[in-house]
Amino acid sequence: MNDMLLDVRDLRVSFGPGKDAVTGLTLRARRGETVALVGESGCGKTLSALALAGLQPREAAVSGSAELGGVQLLGRTERQLRRIRGNLVSMVFQDASTALNPLMTVGAQIEEVMAIHGTHDRRARRKRSVELLAAVGVPDAANRARSHPHQLSGGMRQRVMIAIALAGSPDLVIADEPTTALDVTVQAQVLALLRESTRDAAVLFITHDMGVVAEIADQVVVMYAGTVVESGPIAEVLERPHHPYTAALLASVPDPDVPQAGELPTIPGRVPPLGERDAGCPFRDRCPKSQDRCRERPPLGPVAGGESAVACWYPEHGEGSSRTVEEATR
């Protein structure tokens, strides 16, 4: 499909034999679309994001394909990557306080990104940096541009991070838990602003919070133990989760309309760590529907009558296809 801006196929990240942290991430996004990557801690979300930006740990081997507007992002030299980052791909991390330079004003940090990416006129940079700060909801932007990071609240610093990420007009913005450290009201504002200000880009939004996914995503990709277990349009996945893991994640989201009595259901057990993953379904130790066949790994295949894909032998709401996604899209 050529209207896809981001096309990631079979992305793998490995730390050596038996230590495969990401085993085949496939996802696509159009311009203006937000894809949420969800899953519990240790599922491989951050490593996938880092690999797309060429920032994976030195000891990690990355393979597969990730095209952005037809440009291959993987297997690039450091010099090529410097051009790609900011120009094509930028990242927003969870903790703005460590990502920002404490010695520079926030305006100067935004202008620096523009200078690196070819805006040579100083006055144009200054004007645009104030516009960007205003666009991400920083009040009195012209004055705040002259502030240092420590003079701003956590929510304001996170907005500055988003302004920096947008300064090079990237095609792909990767946001790794960008609002987890913020309180709920500020989180909602920052999410809305991120959505507003990235209409020309694709956004890969990483979170473990299904409530946030419902608010921001067009598409959702559910990862478990390094692999995609379900993916599809947000409405379909939220209304008819096919994978028992997705269903369990959704069951643990509090319903704002229902007063909370007692604890939310949590999923008993834990994600198998690297080195303890075998050739079977990675969820089977925790799955209420597990059977003998689940010792064999189910392929990710399209579900009948929907746009989603699921990797489960016994999906909810009827059978998944026995074809893999690759076979179905060939």
Ligand X SMILES: Nc1ncnc2c1ncn2[C@@H]1O[C@H](COP(=O)(O)OP(=O)(O)OP(=O)(O)O)[C@@H](O)[C@H]1O
Question: Which residues are near ligand SF4 by CB under 6 A?
Answer: 244, 281, 283-284, 287, 289-290, 294, 298, 312-314
Pairing of strands 219-224, 34-38: parallel
- Angle CA(12)–CA(277)–CA(289) in degrees, nearest 5? 110
Q: Which of residues 262 and 288 has its CB atom nearest to ligand SF4 in the complex?
A: 288
Token pair of 141, please? 């932007």
**Binding flag, residue 115, ligand X (CB under 6 A):** no
**Binding flag, residue 47, ligand X (CB under 6 A):** yes
Q: How many residues bind ligand X (CB under 6 A)?
A: 14
Say how far apart CA 26 and CA 46 lie, in whole Å.
15
* Cβ-contact 138, 160 below 8 angstroms: yes
Choosing among ligand X, ligand SF4, Mg ion, none, which partner's interface includes residue 238 (Cβ < 5 to 8 Å by kind)?
A: none
Say how far apart CA 162 and CA 109 lie, in whole Å.
12
- Name the strands in the sheet holding 20-29, side by side, starting at the edge strand that comes first in the sequence: 20-29, 6-14, 61-68, 71-72
* Cβ-contact 309, 232 below 8 angstroms: yes
**Binding flag, residue 56, Mg ion (CB under 5 A):** no
3-state SS track over 159-204: HHHHHHHHCCCCCEEEEECCCCCCCHHHHHHHHHHHHHHCCCCEEE
Distances (CA, A) of 223 to 27, 42, 206, 243: 11, 10, 11, 11
Segment contacting ligand X by CB under 6 A, of 37-45, 108-116, 161-169, 285-293: 37-45
Token pair 């894909």 is found at 309
Q: Which of residues 39 and 107 has its CB atom nearest to ligand SF4 in the complex?
A: 39
Segment contacting ligand X by CB under 6 A, of 34-42, 69-77, 154-162, 301-309: 34-42
Say how far apart CA 288 and CA 34 lie, in whole Å.
31
Choosing among Mg ion, ligand SF4, ligand X, none, which partner's interface includes residue 286 (Cβ < 5 to 8 Å by kind)?
A: none
Site for Mg ion in 79-138 (CB under 5 A): none
**Binding flag, residue 15, ligand X (CB under 6 A):** yes
**Binding flag, residue 8, ligand X (CB under 6 A):** no
Q: Which of residues 53 and 132 has its CB atom nearest to ligand X in the complex?
A: 53
Q: Which of residues 130 and 173 has its CB atom nearest to Mg ion in the complex?
A: 173
* Cβ-contact 51, 11 below 8 angstroms: yes
CA 110 to chain centre: 23
Binding ligand X (rule: CB under 6 A), the pick from 8, 29, 38, 43 is 43
Q: Which of residues 15 and 314 has its CB atom nearest to ligand SF4 in the complex?
A: 314
Q: Residues 32-51: x/- map of binding to Mg ion (CB under 5 A)? A: --------------x-----
Choosing among ligand SF4, ligand X, Mg ion, none, which partner's interface includes residue 299 (Cβ < 5 to 8 Å by kind)?
A: none
**Binding flag, residue 179, Mg ion (CB under 5 A):** no
Q: What is the binding site for ligand X (CB under 6 A)?
A: 15, 21, 39, 41-47, 57, 208, 273-274
Q: What is the binding site for Mg ion (CB under 5 A)?
A: 46
